[in-house]
Amino acid sequence: MDVNQLQKRFIDYTTTLVQEGFLDDQFNQLQQLQDESNPDFVFEVVSVFFQDTDRLLNELGKTLELQNVDFKKVDAHVHQLKGSSSSIGAQKVRNVCIAFRNCCEEQNIEGSLRCLQQVKHEYSLVKNKLEYLFSLEQQILAAGGSIPTWNE
Amino acid sequence: MNTLSGFPVADRRRSWGGFKTLNKEDPLSPQTFSTSELINLIVSVEDTGVGIPFEAQSRVFTPFMQVGPSISRIHGGTGIGLSISKCLVSLMKGEIGFVSEPHIGSTFTFTAVFSSGHSNSDEYKKKQISKQPKFVSSEFQGLKALVVDSRLVRAKVTRYHFQRLGIHVEVASDLNQAISCLTSVTPTINMVLVEKEAWEKDTELSDLFVVELRKYENSDPLKLFILANSIISSKTSAAKSACYTPIVIMKPLRASMLAASLQRAMGVGNKRVFRNGGLHLQSLENLLHGRQILVVDDNKVNLKVAAGALKKYGAKVECVDSGKKAIELLEPPHQFDACFMDIQMPEIDGFEATKRIREKEHNINEHVIQATHEECLKYGMDGYVSKPFEDNGRWFSGMHCDARLLSVLPNRRPHGCQTGEELMCIAWVAVSDC
């Protein structure tokens, strides 16, 4: 595939992700922050998001397995996840976090466990899609092209 | 009480009662009438402060005199402000006077003579045009707003701001009147703005109002805004109801932020156009370039995004992930021009951190800080911005160039149809993004 096709695919793919609700406008905003002085910005931010989320999901799993669930702790973790998913535009993940926090408020263990499953699911979906997007980026750069920007 | 604040004020007419320039009957007094070249301006500043004790009033313009030794200890200053003002006013061929009532407030008035700016009218016009902020206000032209406010003077100020955007304003003094307005007023209302006072007065009434609002809406959803100068109590039951979360617009109203809030809420116009042609990105670059900014957030992702956004405009950013580290770095003297601080952090939260930082800077006695505002004003914060950060000019629109710490207010958006982003508390930058 030549550079132009790759670039088109990149744009189409990002657009689809936004249309399908996986990503929201915040992700576009992040892409706009990327420039020559900060060429890997989006990749770096998303990488931190992946690391952070892996850690949080792990903690959440442990906390919810205990005999006496400490919902304050659970809520604190979900709050973090909500914040970071919001910051990168991972809309579906963030939306599950909102429901998750409601479960915490109600001290609902079953609901919380369901939410945890859901958030893990949404996270793995968006992670796969973002990883694919980054691989497209790599291909574009390797072919000598530049990543399309969103300043319409 | 027909004043902007709603509180009684000292009668300003007594502040200029002795002015020679206004006394037409005295044949010996120098009269400075306004002519086409010279303009005699009168400026009056009215406050609702503690006032000046009567026995101290005679020496108010004397250099180095303050009301008592406690003033300089609490408020600082050396007591020469008014004597300097008097000299300046005299050099500007004017007069200065005041009226003050203890526990009510003071009103100071002065006159000064200025030469007309229209003498170089072409140059003047050119300057005006280049300074014109590029508000994308034409998209609001013809819209209609209903403002609910019991205070006439304050409602006037609100109306002024809306009319600047081309929006026609109807005023109702309370929610009951507003409900009858909804049904009787034509053409149809596009948005409703309720003063916080009116909104919180009676939660049943505000609930009823929301119900009426839903009945009123047909095809175009009606946007509801609360006008507040401090955080809305989260107990507002209407706020919790699923689909009608009122958006808060912070006062004092600023044209650019108002336009931005309305645009965002109403989705008016082409979003892309706004982003590029909205607030002057160049002035944002000017404002931030080379500034040293500290970002404080326990969430690493948020830190990275905030840093990226600020660096885009040329700022030098340092990131820390705790209130404790922020306090260490902001120990005077330090090189930072501004600090963006999250409120919700474990151990030392944003409020506590700011309070401690302020204490180190000003050595302020906690009792002196007026507890008339909300929680975070008490701790010395003065502005807020919502996360996630967005790379568009409007979120810096409230920034002031001097290094004053501005107040910060948290605004936890309730769950519902709107996204529940957490708000960051900022010292030094007032930004609102509902």
Q: pLDDT averaged over chain A?
A: 90
Do the Cβ atoms of A52 and B300 come within 8 Å? yes
Q: pLDDT averaged over chain B?
A: 71
Q: A122, A53 in Cβ contact below 8 A?
A: no
In chain B the domains, ranked by start, together with CATH numbers, are 12-21+36-115 (3.30.565.10), 144-233+242-269 (3.40.50.2300), 285-392+421-433 (3.40.50.2300)
Q: Which residues of B touch A152 (CB under 8 A)?
A: 272
In a domain, A137, yes or no: yes
In a domain, A132, yes or no: yes
pLDDT of residue B377: 54
Residue B219 has pLDDT above 80, yes or no: no
Q: Which residues of A touch B391 (CB under 8 A)?
A: 29, 32-33
Tokens for B60, please give them. 């108010």
Average pLDDT (B341-364) is 81
Residue B34 has pLDDT above 90, yes or no: no
Query: What's the total number of domains in chain A?
Result: 1
pLDDT band for position A149 (cuts 50, 70, 90): low
pLDDT of residue B80: 85
Show which of residues 289-308 on chain B sit within 8 Å of chain A, judged by CB atoms.
298-302, 304-305, 308
Residue A2 has pLDDT above 90, yes or no: no
pLDDT band for position B27 (cuts 50, 70, 90): low
Helices (H), A1-152: 3-19, 25-33, 41-65, 71-88, 91-105, 109-142
Angle separating helix axes B255-266 and B152-164, nearest 10 degrees: 70
CA angle A126, A132, A134 (to 5 degrees): 105
Residue B384 has pLDDT above 50, yes or no: no
Q: What are B174-198's pLDDT values in tens digits?
A: 989 888 888 776 667 888 999 988 8
What residues contact A12, with CB distance under 8 A and at least 6 apart? none
Residue B233 has pLDDT above 70, yes or no: no
Q: CB contact, 8 Å: A48 with chain B?
A: yes
Residue B390 has pLDDT above 80, yes or no: no
In the three-class reduction of DSSP (H, G, I as helix; E, B as strand; rest coil), residue B375 is classed as helix
In a domain, A148, yes or no: no
Q: Which domain holds residue A97?
A: 3-143
Question: Nearest-CA distance from A22 to chain B in Å?
Answer: 15
Question: Nearest-CA distance from B196 to chain A in Å?
Answer: 27
Q: What are B246-297's pLDDT values in tens digits?
A: 777 888 788 777 887 887 777 654 333 333 334 445 666 777 888 899 999 9
In a domain, A99, yes or no: yes
In a domain, A151, yes or no: no
Phi, psi at B192, each rounded to 5°: -125, 130
How long, in residues, is chain A?
Answer: 152
Tokens for A55, please give them. 């850690």
Q: CB contact, 8 Å: A28 with chain B?
A: no
In a domain, A55, yes or no: yes
Do the Cβ atoms of A26 and B302 come within 8 Å? no
Alpha-carbon distance B341 to B139, whole Å?
35
DSSP readout, B366-385? Answer: TTTS-TTS-HHHHTT-B-EE
What residues contact A16, with CB distance under 8 A and at least 6 apart? none
In a domain, A130, yes or no: yes
In a domain, A149, yes or no: no
pLDDT of residue B279: 44
Tokens for B83, please give them. 């004597």
pLDDT band for position B379 (cuts 50, 70, 90): low
CATH number at residue A78: 1.20.120.160
Do the Cβ atoms of B301 and A82 come within 8 Å? no
